[in-house]
């Protein structure tokens, strides 16, 4: 069910979806293309990149997965 009012994006009069935007502009906002970005920065110390997964940027998330995989390989019994 649409909310009352129209989209706050310039030259758009479509019905509201969320956050004051219509469906199209809301999707853009969620991706960080429009207005104030949805996602914050990475939680790794000193990193200012946007978050990707589990509150980390792409680089720090990849490092975390690599360490987890190495740890699992070290704990596996030798055959």
CA distance 42 to 79: 39
Question: What pLDDT, on a 0 to 100 scale, did the predictor assign at position 52?
Answer: 86
Mean per-residue pLDDT of the chain: 85
What are phi and psi for residue 3, nearest 5 degrees?
Answer: -85, 160
Mean pLDDT, residues 51-69: 92
pLDDT in tens, 1-24: 556 889 998 999 999 998 889 999
pLDDT at site 67:
92
62, pLDDT greater than 90: yes
31 plus 48 within the same structural domain: no
Contacts of 4 by beta carbon, 8 Å cutoff, 6+ apart: 16
Give the total number of structural domains in the chain. 2
8: containing domain: 1-38
Q: What is the mean pLDDT of residues 66-74?
A: 86
Phi and psi based region of residue 77 (left: phi greater than 0; alpha: psi -120 to 50; beta: remaining): beta
Cα 32 to chain centroid distance, Å, stands at 8
Instruction: Identify whether residues 47 and 32 lie together within a single domain.
Output: no
Residues 46 and 68 in one domain: yes
């Amino acid at each position: 069910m649409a909310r009352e009012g129209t989209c706050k994006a310039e030259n758009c009069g479509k019905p509201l979806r969320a956050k004051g935007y219509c469906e199209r502009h809301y999707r853009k906002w969620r991706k960080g293309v429009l207005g104030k970005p949805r996602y914050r920065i990475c939680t790794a110390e000193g990193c200012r990149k946007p978050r990707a997964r589990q509150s980390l940027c792409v680089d720090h998330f990849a490092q975390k997965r690599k360490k987890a995989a190495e740890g699992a390989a070290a704990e596996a019994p030798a055959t």
